[in-house]
Amino acid sequence: MSDLAGFFAMGGYGAFVWLSYGVTLMILVLVWAASVRRLKRNERALAEMEARR
Amino acid sequence: MKRLDWFANPARFLRLARAVQPWATGIALTAAAAGLYLGLFASPPDYQQGESVRIMYVHVPAAWMALFCYTALAVASAVALIWKHPLADLAARATAPVGAAFTFLALLTGSLWGKPMWGTWWVWDARLTSVLVLLFLYLGYIALNGAFDDPARGAKASAVLALVGFVNVPIVKFSVDWWNTLHQPASVLRAGGPAIHESMFAPLLLMALAFKAYFVWVLLIRIRAEIAAGKIRAARLRASGDAAP
């Protein structure tokens, strides 16, 4: 258990290390999700336009 | 030019994108898993920086991608301006926000490393300042690209900005050699080979590969979205043309 605590403490730099990794993961996931959402929305709109024609 | 023409066909590009995308996804996730394992568990703490050195495994790949994406943005802009390549405008527009995100992450993680190691979140040295300029170039590109009612005019104006701003890329890269910066000089892409032990080099390269594959993955999604948006615009123009007497 203290091994795990030691791992998260990162020799006293835990806050800096985990914030770096956390924000990086968060932003990369957000950019990916926004891109997928945009693609889905555009493809749906295009399909509706083509169905109406 | 022949090869460029081949890519200009959106239907062909879409087929290629669908074939490449699962590979990019797989490489990004696999390399990230291996890189995180080596970077966070298996690699040793640095003899000077202690455990804070692990920030390097996200900071350096993000900074490399910040420069790589801007180079891609400038190349796509040049191709769009010179050859009027229909996909180049879309590729440039799709690249800019991803590059801006990497640049922001490089600045943020650098700051999170600088506080415990340098004792400050920020200094106005040549490396940090030129990367901040890089972020503003990305944001300026995005703003200018969307500032016109006619997307073609926005694409042209922002492409010129992207090309002019490219002078900043060598300044970022060589700032640590040209000026006396607090930021350390290059340890990997330097004359004489990498000055970094393989136990730290392996997670760094894996994370760099993961970021590169992530970029390809997300870029393909974004270009597909742009192609669909272009088709919608064209269909609307046709529809309004039909409705007019």
What mean pLDDT is predicted for residues B166-176? Answer: 96
φ, ψ (nearest 5 deg) of residue B46: -75, 150
What mean pLDDT is predicted for residues A3-15? Answer: 89
Instruction: Give the pLDDT band of residue B5 (cuts 50, 70, 90).
Output: low
CB burial string B75-103: b at 16+ within 10 A, e below: bbbbbbbeeebebbbbbbbbbbbbbbbbb
SS3 A13: coil
The shortest CB-CB distance from B221 to any of A12, A24, A39 is to A39
Residue of A nearest to B222 (CA): A35
What's the confidence (pLDDT) of residue B9?
72
Do residues B93 and B226 make contact, with C-beta atoms less than 8 angstroms apart? yes
B108 belongs to a structural domain: yes
Number of domains in chain B: 1
Is the pLDDT higher at A53 or at B72?
B72
Q: Given an 8 Å threshold on Cβ–Cβ distance, is B229 in contact with A35?
A: no
The shortest CB-CB distance from A49 to any of B50, B224, B235 is to B235
B207 belongs to a structural domain: yes
B1 belongs to a structural domain: no
Full residue range of the structural domain in which residue B212 is found: 22-243
Q: Give me the amino acid identity at B13.
A: F
Instruction: Give the pLDDT band of residue B11 (cuts 50, 70, 90).
Output: confident
B66 belongs to a structural domain: yes
What's the confidence (pLDDT) of residue B8?
60
B46 belongs to a structural domain: yes
Domain CATH for B104: 1.20.120
Chain A residues with CB-CB distance to B48 below 8 A = none
- Whole-angstrom Cα distance, residue B193 to residue B216? 27
Would the pLDDT of A3 be above 90?
Answer: no
Query: What string of DSSP letters covers B51-88?
Result: GGGGGHHHHHHHHHHHHHHHHHHHHHHHHHHHH--HHH
What's the confidence (pLDDT) of residue B10?
78
Is the pLDDT higher at B26 or at B8?
B26
Q: Given an 8 Å threshold on Cβ–Cβ distance, is B97 in contact with A16?
A: no
- Whole-angstrom Cα distance, residue B142 to residue B130? 19
Query: What string of DSSP letters covers chain B?
Result: -HHHHHHH-HHHHHHHHHHHHHHHHHHHHHHHHHHHHIIIIISPPBTTTBGGGGGHHHHHHHHHHHHHHHHHHHHHHHHHHHH--HHHHHHHHHHHHHHHHHHHHHHHHHHHHHHHHHS-S----HHHHHHHHHHHHHHHHHHHHTSSSSHHHHHHHHHHHHHHHTTHHHHHHHHHHHS--SSPPPSSSSTTS--S-HHHHHHHHHHHHHHHHHHHHHHHHHHHHHHHHHHHHHHHHHHHHHH--
Is the pLDDT higher at B150 or at B157?
B157
Would the pLDDT of B112 be above 70?
Answer: yes
Instruction: Give the pLDDT band of residue B1 (cuts 50, 70, 90).
Output: very low
CB pairs under 8 A between A and B: 81
Residue A23 touches partner B, C-beta closer than 8 Å: yes
B59-105 pLDDT per residue, tens = 999 999 999 999 999 999 999 999 988 899 999 999 999 999 999 99
Instruction: Give the pLDDT band of residue B4 (cuts 50, 70, 90).
Output: low
Q: Given an 8 Å threshold on Cβ–Cβ distance, is A39 in contact with B225?
A: yes
Residues contacting residue B4 through CB under 8 Å, at least 6 positions apart: B79, B83, B85
Q: Given an 8 Å threshold on Cβ–Cβ distance, is B52 in contact with A35?
A: no
What's the confidence (pLDDT) of residue B236?
86
Q: Give me the amino acid identity at B228.
A: A
Residue A12 touches partner B, C-beta closer than 8 Å: yes
The Cα-based distances of B17 to B32, B36, B127, B145, B164 in angstroms read 22, 27, 36, 24, 30
Q: Given an 8 Å threshold on Cβ–Cβ distance, is B51 in contact with A19?
A: no
Is the pLDDT higher at B1 or at B71?
B71
B184-243 pLDDT per residue, tens = 999 988 888 888 999 999 999 999 999 999 999 999 999 999 999 999 988 888 878 766
Is the pLDDT higher at B24 or at B199?
B24
B171 belongs to a structural domain: yes
A11-43 pLDDT per residue, tens = 889 999 999 999 999 999 999 999 999 999 999
> Does this complex have an ipTM over 0.85?
yes
What mean pLDDT is predicted for residues B162-171? Answer: 97
Chain mean pLDDT for chain B: 92
